[in-house]
Every structure is written in C-alpha cells, then in structure tokens.
Amino acid sequence: MQPLYLKPGEEKRILKGHRWVFSNEIASSLSEYEAGSWVQVYSAKKTLLGSGYINPSSLISVRLVCQPGQTPGKDLFLTLLRDAKRRRRQLYSDSVCYRAVYGESDGLPGLVVDRYGELLVYQITTLGMAKMETLIQELLVDIFRPQAMVFRNDTQARVLEGLSLVKGVAYGSLSGEHWASIDGIEMQIDPLAGQKTGFYLDQRDNRTALLPWVKGKKLLDLFCYNGAWSLAAAKAGAVEVVGVDLSAQAIAQARNNAARNGLDACCSFIEQDVFHFLKGLSKGAFDLIVLDPPAFAKTKKSLPAARKGYTDLNRRALLALKREDLLISCSCSYHLSDEIFRDVLLSAAQASNRQLRLIEARGQAKDHPVLLAMPETSYLKCLFLEVM
C-alpha cells in the first residue's frame, strides 16, 4: 500500500474514530494514487492512523477500514461480516429480518446489507468496495446461506464515485412473491423494484413504539409506502387506519399486505398527493397522524427549500388534529439536523396556532447503529408529539 500523508492538524477527527478523509485534508498529491487502491494514512508527523481505499476524484478521498496493524483482505472482511451478523442476532434474537451491515458503523464503508429471511439484498456505493464485490458476494453467501441474493447498486451516491447504476440477482433465483415476517406482520418484499432494498427497516423500532398509543384510535399514515405503519397500528387495535401515498405501486402493495394479514377491514389506502389530501381534511378526523416523508433535503443546497416543505407539511397536519391528539413526525434528511427539525416543528405549531409537547424523541432502528465519532451515520429523526 502506498503511504498518504495528511496536512498538519487534520488527524484529530480521525483519532476520535471518524472514518473519512476529505481531499482538502491531504498533503500528498492525489494524482499519484490509483482509484480504488488501498493506502496507509499517516499524520503530518508520520504517525500511522490506519488504512483504507482511495478515490482521488471524490470529495471523500479515503474511507478508512483498517486500524493500525490490521491488513485488508479476506480474513478481515470475514471477521467484520461475522461480527455484524452476531450483533444483529443479539438485537433481534427472534427475527431473521434486519439490516445486517450498516456501512461505517460496522467497519465496512460503502456496504449495506439487508436480510429478509432467506433473501439477502446488498448495496455497494463506493469504488473501493465495488472492486471487492466478488469477495463480498462470496463471504455473504458463506455466512448467511441465502436462497437468493440481490444487488441494488442503483443509488445516486454511486454516480459521485464514477460507478454505473445497476441491479440484479447475484446468487440463486427469484421466483414469485417474497414475504417476510417483521414483528409479527407479513410484508411483501420487492427487492428489485421496491424502495431502498425493498423495505424501510430503519423505522422498525419506531413502529413498535407507536403501538401503546393506537388502541381504539383513528390513525392517518401519510407517505405510507407499503403500509408498514398502518398495519402495525391496525394489528395493535386501531379502529380505523387510512394510508395515503402518491405511488400507485406502493398503494397496491399496501393493500396486498393488508389483505395478507387479514387487516383490510380496518385499513384503507388512497393514491393521492399528501399535501392535496391534507388540504381537504377536517379538524378531528383522526386521533393520530404519522408523517414519514421521503428526504426533502438530499443535499445541503436543498436545505432551505426542504425546510419550507417540512414546515408546511407539519402545519397542515397539525390543523387536522385537536388537543391531546398525537403527531408522529419524521425526517430522514441527514442535512436537516435535530435542531433544525425541532425549529421546523415549532414554526409549524406557531403557524397552526398550536403548541406541542414532546413525548419521545427517537431515531433509526438498533440495526442502524450510529458511530458516535461520525454524525453522518445518524440521519433519522422521529418525534412523538402531543398537540396542545
């Protein structure tokens, strides 16, 4: 491995455990390195900080994988993958559905793996990890023994790394529908056409936290996708659940999921724009509203517009709720920080002549662990709010 030297003082973040090295922190000439190759990273005082793979054309030039003294290779990746699986089995001992690998938080930057029973879905987002894809496939099959394994290498993050957008079956074969039991509810998983890897596992624990609040209540699930929030509420005793989403495919899947679980009598799903639906909603029509929109702020530049969108969305939802009703408001935009999100909710409350009492502040599920030294690994906000 070639050595790579940082500028004076740029090692502080790395010493705390951060795993990215940005191009403007590097003293060495980036043109000397082959994209996707491995480098040893040194401080300006020549202290070895670890090793990782490099992409000279990316703002995040190096992603660290190895601690000083470790060597990249099959043995290291086997250990990291086995450790990741072991941790998930501790977190969800009664389930075979979970995020098995969550990038940097599991020491494997550029790799995400989701398990849905006998189906495994992985996603590679970086050039360095893409160069090891054959090895990753081999190890995943050996460790998890899936019947089928799908690759969803179609996220836009790959474009920044100079990678193509592709998806397909890497191992085994897909035949018919695939269903997975997640917290006692059968959910249809579409690994090739569904959002993310076919399901939103990051809200799993938050859906469980909702259950004590729903018995005998009417719940509105906005941006419902395949109905996961709706079905969890219906199974826990909600008397009426309505899910709204603009995607015809998502609504069809939500209805299919409801029928599969025998919950279609109290669940209905509407194909409509959420903002338009809220305009026609009368106050007190529902006791609880779940707002789980897509990321409005995908880049830092889009944050001002996203902030306005989140404010208007929450304002409209609050206008449809009465005193002591519950709003579960979420944001999966990393660039919308906790502080900004709470300020958005305060602005929405003021604009709707409401006040909010915070019942619980939550984040992503336990199988999406946050690396404390890397705030970039924390993105999901989920606030349980009582209307006053």
Which residues are part of the catalytic machinery? 332
Give the 3-state secondary structure percentages of the chain, helix then strand then coil, rounded to 5: 35, 30, 40
| Residue 21: strand pairing partners | 62
DSSP label at residue 223:
T
CA dihedral 71, 155, 369, 59 (to 10 degrees): 60
Structure tokens at 350: 């003021």
CA atoms within a 13 Å half-sphere pointing along the CA-CB vector of 261: 30
What contacts 138, CB < 8 A, 6 or more positions away? none
CA distance 22 to 173: 40
Bridge pairing between strands 326-331 and 381-387: antiparallel
249, 193 Cβ separation under 8 angstroms: yes
Pairing of strands 48-54, 38-42: antiparallel
Q: Is 192 exposed, middle or buried (0-12, 13-18, 19+ CB in 10 A)?
A: middle
Helices (H), the chain: 12-15, 74-91, 127-130, 133-144, 204-210, 228-235, 248-260, 274-279, 303-319, 338-351
